Amino acid sequence: MTQYMLSVWHSERYPVPDDPEVMQKAFEQVDAVNAELMAKGIWVFGGGLHDPSSATVVNATEADPVMTDGPFAESKEQLGGFWILELPDLDAALEWANKCSAACMGPVEVRPFQDEPEA
């Protein structure tokens, strides 16, 4: 089994809805998908993220670490949330991404995790 990250993306084309009723509908739909993922035993972890403006970037690549407010990248696309799922293959991941995209009413990117090195 492989772990996949299904990422929810927001952009100018797919903004976070400002209508509270639309957001509530998305929350309910995502809760239903989450319950299904958990019932099938393929849920590893998942969650929604606060607005990118709440981010802090830590850069410890030099002698003195530097911390800056705001997202790392100035981008029109921002990560809004994600699921980590344990699935047999990419086809299964794409099927779940379809359900997750419909539930959250936005695009979902699918990426496999790298294999762990042999011990």
What's the pLDDT tens digit per position in 60-94? 999 999 999 988 888 888 899 999 999 999 999 99
pLDDT at 118 over 90: no
Q: What is the H or E stretch that residue 115 is in?
A: none
Q: How far apart are CA 33 and CA 2, in angstroms?
A: 20
Q: Where are the alpha helices (DSSP H) in 13-86?
A: 20-39
**Whether 31 contacts 40, CB under 8 Å:** no
Indicate whether 27 belongs to any domain.
Answer: yes
**Whether 33 contacts 99, CB under 8 Å:** yes
- Model pLDDT, residue 15: 80
Q: How many domains does the chain have?
A: 1
The pTM of the whole model exceeds 0.85? yes
Residue appearing with tokens 């089994």: 1
> How much is the CA Rg of the chain, to the nearest whole Å?
16
Residue ranges making up the domain that contains 97: 19-43+76-105
What's the pLDDT tens digit per position in 1-54? 899 999 999 888 888 888 999 999 999 999 999 999 999 999 999 999 998 889
